[in-house]
């Protein structure tokens, strides 16, 4: 059965992939975005754009009131650990403050399903090899803290007002739409996979590895790279699970790759060398973050389609190779006379 959904940040990396999944099911989708980070070209035909900043309480109230919504999916926000270490109050203000504005509007207008894009960054420096939902929460960055505060606000929104929520703590979103319509395009780009790919493509002179002295087998940080289309599927399954009550899930593939593993994978997929040098650690980076996704798999039947690093990298590589200027390339091509 199709539904009607409001997707904040639906023009961003993970949000746009969820919108693609919803449209493919025949759902109605309104994308709320201020287009500071998101891209208009990332909204596929079939979805409607609402040019709204979450700081604008009146506009947020108006669009939430224009329901009924089967659910609100909330992706909008800042998501860079290192940036949050430099500008903590911006992260707390925008991610938590504006998120609260949205949650309050949902409560006011009777929305009873909410899905939050949360993060593994709220686990801090874990001591177990794989993190499940019982792992203690202890954010070591304002980014992680801002998402944790939102999760807590949702717990109270449920207890007091009956707003059911699914929070998805995802690990490292990576790859891109296998159909080649969507990709990862941050300005400026700071993420490992796109930067390593750009280095292979000769668009950057070298890749800088942040820290080679971590307590890991090759000394570089280990992360759990989960394909963005698998993440989109996880959101949909978590939404369905809300019929049984609020839930929180850790979403990753359950296996880690080091920074050097990713560099080698990019070399295999591209057939080119990635020049790199090892520099100092980046503040706020935990050594290892790997999910135990057992709970979401058991409860929702979710299972990642992409489990091989090279397959994830290949989708990212194909989009980046075809879009030298990210979504700007798509606009330029579309605007060119044939
Ligand atoms: N890295 C480098 N050099 C770079 C960029 C990254 O060595 O130029 C390393 C980082 O130190 C880290 C790894 O590559 O060890 C991955 O870094 P990313 O910047 O790609 O991603 P993060 O792990 O910092 O953060 C991402 C999302 C967060 C989310 C987190 C959860 O950006 O929103 O994953 O694991 F919270």
Q: Where does the pLDDT of residue 331 fall: very low under 50, low under 70, confident under 90, or very high at 90 and above?
A: low
Number of domains the chain contains: 1
Average pLDDT, the chain: 95
146 domain residue, yes or no: yes
Q: Which residues contact 36 (CB under 8 A, 6 or more apart)?
A: none
Which is it for the CA torsion 142, 146, 148, 152, positive or negative? positive
Report whether residue 190 contacts ligand 1, using a CB cutoff of 6 Å. yes
279 domain residue, yes or no: no
Question: Quick one: average pLDDT of 211-236?
Answer: 97
Residue identified by tokens 């839930």 is 247
Report the candidate in 163, 73, 81, 151 with the shortest Cα–Cα distance to residue 118. Answer: 151
Question: Quick one: average pLDDT of 292-316?
Answer: 98
Q: Which is the closest atom of ligand 1 to the Cα of 207?
A: 8
> Distance from the CA of 192 to the center of ligand 1, in angstroms?
6
> Distance from the CA of 97 to the center of ligand 1, in angstroms?
24
Alpha carbons 123 and 169: distance in angstroms, whole number? 9
Residue 337 clears pLDDT 80, i.e. is over it: no
Report whether residue 288 contacts ligand 1, using a CB cutoff of 6 Å. no
| Region of poorest pLDDT, from 60-69, 118-127, 292-301 | 118-127
Q: Which is the closest atom of ligand 1 to the Cα of 121?
A: 36
36 domain residue, yes or no: yes
79 domain residue, yes or no: yes
Question: Which of 14, 37, 81, 309 to mutate to test ligand 1, by most ligand atoms within 8 A of the CB atom?
Answer: 81
Question: Which of 191, 286, 312 to mutate to test ligand 1, by most ligand atoms within 8 A of the CB atom?
Answer: 191
What's the pLDDT score for residue 284?
A: 79
Q: Determine which residue's CA is closest to atom 16 belonging to ligand 1.
A: 192
Q: Are 157 and 149 in contact (CB under 8 A)?
A: no
CATH number of residue 65's parent domain = 3.40.50.720
What are 166-211's pLDDT values in tens digits? 999 999 999 999 999 999 999 899 999 999 999 999 999 999 999 9
Residue 335 clears pLDDT 70, i.e. is over it: no
> Between 338 and 320, where is the model more confident?
320
Residue 333 clears pLDDT 50, i.e. is over it: no
Alpha carbons 81 and 196: distance in angstroms, whole number? 19
117 domain residue, yes or no: yes
Structure tokens at 323: 């879009």
Q: Determine which residue's CA is closest to atom 10 belonging to ligand 1.
A: 210
308 domain residue, yes or no: no
Output the pTM of the full model: 0.96
What's the pLDDT score for residue 330?
A: 61
Question: Which of 15, 120, 121 to mutate to test ligand 1, by most ligand atoms within 8 A of the CB atom?
Answer: 121
> Distance from the CA of 59 to the center of ligand 1, in angstroms?
33
- Domain span at 239: 4-174+225-252
41 domain residue, yes or no: yes
68 domain residue, yes or no: yes
Long-range contacts, 318-323 (Cβ 8 Å, 24+) = 318/176, 318/180, 319/176, 319/177, 319/180, 319/182, 319/183, 319/184, 320/183, 320/184, 320/194, 320/197, 320/198, 320/201, 321/197, 321/201, 322/180, 323/183, 323/185
Any idea which residues carry the catalytic annotation? Answer: 143
Number of continuous H segments (helices) and E segments (strands) in the chain: 12, 14
What's the pLDDT score for residue 68?
A: 96
């Amino acid at each position: 059965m199709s539904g009607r959904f409001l997707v904040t940040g639906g023009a961003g990396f993970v949000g746009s992939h969820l919108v693609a999944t919803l449209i493919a099911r025949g759902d109605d989708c309104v994308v709320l975005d201020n287009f500071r980070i998101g891209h208009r070209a990332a909204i596929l035909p079939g979805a409607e754009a609402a040019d709204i900043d979450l700081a604008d309480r009146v506009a947020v109230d108006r669009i939430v009131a224009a329901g009924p919504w089967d659910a609100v999916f909330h992706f909008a926000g800042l998501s860079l650990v290192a940036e949050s270490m430099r500008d903590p109050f911006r992260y707390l203000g925008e991610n938590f403050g504006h998120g609260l504005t949205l949650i309050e509007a949902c409560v006011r207008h009777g929305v009873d399903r909410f899905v939050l894009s949360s993060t593994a960054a709220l686990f801090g420096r874990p001591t177990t090899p794989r993190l499940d939902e019982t792992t203690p929460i202890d954010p070591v960055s304002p980014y992680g803290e801002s998402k944790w505060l939102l999760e807590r606000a949702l717990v109270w929104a449920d207890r007091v007002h009956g707003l059911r929520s699914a929070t998805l703590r995802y690990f490292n979103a990576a790859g891109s739409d296998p159909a080649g319509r969507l990709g990862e395009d941050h300005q400026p780009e700071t993420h490992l996979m796109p930067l390593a790919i750009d280095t292979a493509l000769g668009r950057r002179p070298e890749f800088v590895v942040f820290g080679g002295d971590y307590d890991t087998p090759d000394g570089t940080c280990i992360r759990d790279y989960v394909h963005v289309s698998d993440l989109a599927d996880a959101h949909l399954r978590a939404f369905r699970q809300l019929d049984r009550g609020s839930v929180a899930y850790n979403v990753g593939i359950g296996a880690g790759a080091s920074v050097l593993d990713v560099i080698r994978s990019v070399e295999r997929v591209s057939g080119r060398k990635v020049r790199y040098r090892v520099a100092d650690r980046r503040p706020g980076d935990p050594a290892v973050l790997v999910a135990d996704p057992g709970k979401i798999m058991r409860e929702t039947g979710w299972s990642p389609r992409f489990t091989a690093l090279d397959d994830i990298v290949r989708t990212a590589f194909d989009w980046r190779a075809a879009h030298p200027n990210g979504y700007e390339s798509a606009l330029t091509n579309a605007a060119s006379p044939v």
